[in-house]
Amino acid sequence: MSLTLLRWSVFLLVLGIAALGYQYHNLELSILEKQKQLDVLSELQQNSKFADCLKNPRKAKFISKGGEYLPDYENPRSLNEKIVYVFEKYFMRSPITTVIGTKYYAKKYITERAGKQHCVELLGVWDNPEDIEWDKLPSAFVLKTVKGHYGRQVILVRDKSKLDIENTIRKLRDFCDLPYMKHIHKKRIIAEELLTPKNGEPLIDYKIYCAHGRPLVAYCLGMPQDQDDCDVSLKTCSFYSLPDWERLPIVSNNHPAIDVQKPRHLNTMLEVARKLSRDFPLVRIDFYQIGDRVLVGEITEDSNGGVAILEPVEWDFRFGNGLYVPSEKEIEKLIERDTKTYNEYVQNDS
């Protein structure tokens, strides 16, 4: 074997040993890294707060969406925490939820407390999608269940002559069979007027957080006129202070924020919001402004499920700061009062 060939053989042997050593080192590092991850996971699983988060769907969802703190619903401080506290301690136990949270009864509630002029016109109500009287409906209208779900179970009909009725009935039947509809008193379908902005104005959904009859803050969802889907995830979202209507530097759930002109009838909105929220610790009242009409879209007890991601996160705590939530004893009194309202609206409904 020549000297040159011997040198090359030794060089290749050394190189091979070095490569094996590098691979072994990387393998060792990989094993150590995985062990560290397992140790961290084990430590987290032993942490009672983390374990509680894994068991609580709201906490898990909030964290998975990018929430920057671990929610504490027993000692709430932020707006999100207090929404969940009030919803779980009060609204989930109170029969008033069947009234304000069911669109058919809510119209009666709004009419009695604020006036019929603030209700979106009801065109029809039916117990089953198959019972809809299509001939009695105008050319344009909206169909929805009495318990909408984040705006997704809504059908906008802009031209009835082009509507596939059989397919629409199937969709509505699917809506009625969704899990959250199981406990509804009556799985009704309602038809409402299709809200059409005047003079080319955008259709804005004005949502006002209120506590014990006091409007706190508003946020606006932009709704393009040519959009046939009511999914809120597709909208713009902008927060405004009340009553001065100054835009706040907040991004919510990654929605783009835009400038929204102060509504001409903001004072009327605030007046109606006070009337509709005076009996509740924390609730959201939604409005539309159509020409000179101020219409209530809905009364929401569980705004954004209590898992809205507000950036910067300090605003979540700013909104929650000083917001009083009732004790369990106070909640019992509220539920006792609400039972009378429930009997008036629901139990007597044939």
Of the pLDDT bands very low, low, confident and very high (cuts 50, 70, 90), residue 78 is very high
- Say if residue 111 is exposed, middle or buried (CB neighbours under 10 Å; 0-12, 13-18, 19+): middle
Nearest of 66, 323, 330 to residue 215 by alpha carbon: 323
pLDDT tens digits along 310-337? 999 999 999 999 899 999 999 999 999 9
The pLDDT assigned to 235 comes to 78
For residues 18 and 342, give the distance between their C-alpha atoms in angstroms, rounded to a whole number.
79
* Three-point CA angle 147, 111, 176, nearest 5°: 15
Domain ranges in the chain are 62-101+197-350, 121-194
The pLDDT assigned to 56 comes to 85
The pLDDT assigned to 307 comes to 94
In this predicted structure, the answer to whether residue 275 has a pLDDT above a threshold of 60 is yes
**CATH architecture, range 121-194:** 2-Layer Sandwich (3.30)
pLDDT tens digits along 209-251? 999 999 999 999 986 545 545 555 567 899 999 999 999 999 9
Phi, psi (deg, nearest 5) at residue 148: -65, 165
Phi, psi (deg, nearest 5) at residue 154: -135, 140
